[in-house]
Chain A
Amino acid sequence: MTSMADWPVVGVPADPGSDERLFFDDHEWDTIEAACARIIPTDHDPGAREAGAVRFIDRYLSGIDYVYAAADGSGFLRMSGKLADAWRARIADLQATYRQGVRDLDAGARERFGSDFVSLSDTDRDAVLEQLSGAPKPAPVALTGDGGNPTIQVYAFDDGLAFFDALVAHTRQGFYGDPVYGGNAGRVGWRVIGFPGPESLKDTMDGTYSVRGYYVQDYDWRDLIPHLRGADAS
């Protein structure tokens, strides 16, 4: 067995212009692309459609060839061992989740509007997604009106997510993730929210990419901390 430290790098980064399908059939591709475009819609800024979120999801679901990019983004790690087994099982579960999810989107669309999901207007697509999500379509952030707040984790695994939650998580990853995975084409996601982002993963390894300029440049700790000035802090 190859040690994880020696997993070979194979393949190449995703081509941001490609619409080659590795997992979805044409109908599934079109349906997921349409759904992604309602999760992160296009407005005066690009959305999930322009970022290629469906390409990102398609590659992820195709097996375990695109799970971990090589550190420098030159290709992908060919896994082996127990972690590879875990990912094979996880991807198989997600494949089933998405296949059924597309059927559920179409079933919901036909029941309410008499045609497949891809044929619906944006408003009707939202209605189908809303129903699938089991909650009202999110309203803008408001000053008041929140309920109880669940905690959040540093990590956000997708293991065992229901279709709608997986779709939301993966659309987000396909919008903001490193372009090596096939989404965030042209780094559009980063531009939308003002994240500089590296030109390549390699640039994050050798000091080329730096956000040092975003820290405070001129400072004196005594200005920030009264205790250092001998002032009574309490």
Chain B
Amino acid sequence: MEYARKPDPVDVLIVGMGASGATAAKVLCEAGLKVVGLERGPWLRPREHFSGDEIKFLNRTYLWSDPRVNPRTVRMDETETAVPTPFSMVPQMVGGGTVHWAGWLPRPRPSDFMMRTLHGDVEGASLADWPITYDDLEPYLSKVEWAFGCAGLDGADAYEPYRSTPYPTPPAPPTRAGRRFYSACEKLGINAMPIPQALITKPFRGRTPSNWTSFWNGYGDPSGMRSSTLDTFVPEALATGNLELRAECYVREVTVGPDGRARGVVYLDADGREIEQEASLVLLCLGAVESARLMLLSTSRQHPDGLANSSGQVGRNATFHEYLFAVGLFNDSEPLYGFPGNYISGGSFQFYETDYDRGHIGGALIGASHVGQPINWNFPGRPSWGSAAKDADRDFYNHAMKIGHTLHDMPVESNRVDLDPVVKDAWGLPAARITHQAHPNDIRLAKWQVDKNVEILEAAGAWKTIPVYLERGRASGNTCHQHGTVRMGNDPAKTVLDKWCRAHDVDNLYVLDGASFPTATGVNPTLTIMANAWRCADYISQVHAKEGAQR
């Protein structure tokens, strides 16, 4: 083993430079703190490295985390042996999931923060209120929308909660499939609207909307039209002169001092050299799976069950937002087109709030979307080979539409991330093992909503509809949404983090990604993650950093 010279300590060390890490870096660097950002993956250059190559981006692991490098194992319960499965393989790179995403940027709703108050104890679930409210987060939702870039249509969502600011840019133009969705919703009395999206549609903060290739969901954007932290907050943080970003550096442990406080981290750089970086504050921003895994890997005399885990709650209450949907195939003469658009074609919050008549709590934001590019466009049950397969592509590629939702899954204490006893990653450390079984409410919600999506497709004139339910309660991890595992709350016996996402046990350790979410919310989580990271980073820069400096 070759050793590198130990670098000087810094104010703040951020592990993971994706959605939350880059947001925190921007806020802290602009506040004048010295920050080192460590990122396991590469630091790619959008204008040089991204293009419309379906094979590279969707079928080979150029952005998607490679399951041979970063394996995951999955099982439904403790009696099963977990099997290696590419589950929630969010890209591990500078920019994280904001590099390849479609850019769903909906706001959470006030009810998302108070599920336990609204619904009490639900058998088999561990519902909890957030220690913050929508009103606490609202100013930061606006900050992110305006700093990051967001397209939306003011006044279109009949169910929209309070907004202190309008949308920065108008929505992308509708697609033909989208137009069909809007007309079906009008027929059924459903309030449809363009889903707020992380892209810009007019010149905005030096960016120009110039990517009309529709190589969008899953692809890197070479133009800067899409809002990614790789293209926005990372360069803004670097421009302060206060960020040192080290890519391809794999953190294997958070180290602690004799007092049990975080001292820094030990990482392996791209050349395999082991380096310790000390810092006054350590911020974990790896995503809910990997942040929990790193905490569990970081055992010490002071923290024998993993870092900041005196509650035993690290890794628990994991939620994953399984994506469920219905596909409609159309046989009329008007093409819907399967390829143009920026993936999302319109949606509705009409079914978001609880209606006990439906037989479940919670609800869903639904969205009509692309069926995709030629190789990977798909519908369940599509003939896989022979003339039936060729006919299916010819007949339906430009005559199909999908309406789906990410599942607002219930937190369950036994749904968790821990360390696999057998499977190791490419650095020889235990892989994250996911134990997850859907709560009965998840299955009922999914069934009701998918059936509603079928109804909309039928109103749109679909010849055939194909529903995908969560029948056996086994999630496939087909979104990159990860939450729970390191919950925030006011009770140190039941939660790991306080309301500023500071560990109850370790006062200079923060976890700023989706791990802190007490419940999953029913919306795509990135806006909430970034707004919460900004809120906590504000707190760190105003309060905690000054305390640290005086120590």
Which residues of A pack against B, CB within 8 Å? 1, 3-5, 38-41, 43, 45, 47, 67-69, 71-73, 81-83, 85-86, 89-90, 126, 129, 133, 137-141, 143, 146-159, 168-169, 171-173, 176-178, 180-181, 189-190, 192-198, 201-202, 204-207, 209-212, 214-217, 219, 221, 224-228, 233-234
CB-CB under 8 A from B210, the residues of chain A are 207
Let me know if B69 is at the binding interface, CB within 8 A.
yes
Q: B67 and A39: CB pair below 8 A?
A: no
CB-CB under 8 A from A38, the residues of chain B are 385-386
Which residue in A85, A141, A168, A214 is a CB contact (below 8 Å) of B396? Answer: A141
Let me know if B207 is at the binding interface, CB within 8 A.
no
Interface size on B, residues (CB 8 A): 111
In the complex, residue of chain B having the shortest beta-carbon distance to the beta carbon of A176: B374
Binds A, one of B119-127, B292-300, B335-343: B335-343
A-B contact number at CB 8 A: 283
Which residues of B pack against A, CB within 8 Å? 41-45, 47-56, 58-62, 64, 66-69, 86, 89, 153, 155-158, 171-176, 178-179, 182-183, 186, 189-194, 210-215, 217-218, 222-223, 247-248, 270-272, 322-324, 329, 335, 337-341, 346, 350, 373-376, 378-398, 426, 463-464, 466-469, 471, 476, 478
Once the chains are docked, how many angstroms separate the CA of A77 from the CA of B469? Answer: 40
Given the known interface contacts A129-B385, A141-B383, A228-B155, the answer about A40 and B67 at a Cβ–Cβ threshold of 8 Å is no
Q: B51 and A72: CB pair below 8 A?
A: yes
Q: B468 and A149: CB pair below 8 A?
A: yes
Q: A3 and B270: CB pair below 8 A?
A: yes
CB-CB under 8 A from B467, the residues of chain A are 149
In the complex, residue of chain A having the shortest beta-carbon distance to the beta carbon of B467: A149
A197 to chain B, nearest CB (A): 8
CB-CB under 8 A from A173, the residues of chain B are 55, 59, 375
In the complex, residue of chain A having the shortest beta-carbon distance to the beta carbon of B376: A156
In the complex, residue of chain A having the shortest beta-carbon distance to the beta carbon of B476: A151
CB-CB under 8 A from B338, the residues of chain A are 195
CB-CB under 8 A from B247, the residues of chain A are 3, 5
Top 7 closest A-B pairs, CB basis? A204-B52, A138-B383, A149-B380, A233-B191, A4-B42, A214-B340, A86-B68
Q: A140 and B270: CB pair below 8 A?
A: no
A93 to chain B, nearest CB (A): 10
B54 to chain A, nearest CB (A): 6
Between B52, B248, B391, the greatest number of chain A beta carbons within 10 A of the residue's beta carbon is seen for B52
Q: A202 and B64: CB pair below 8 A?
A: no
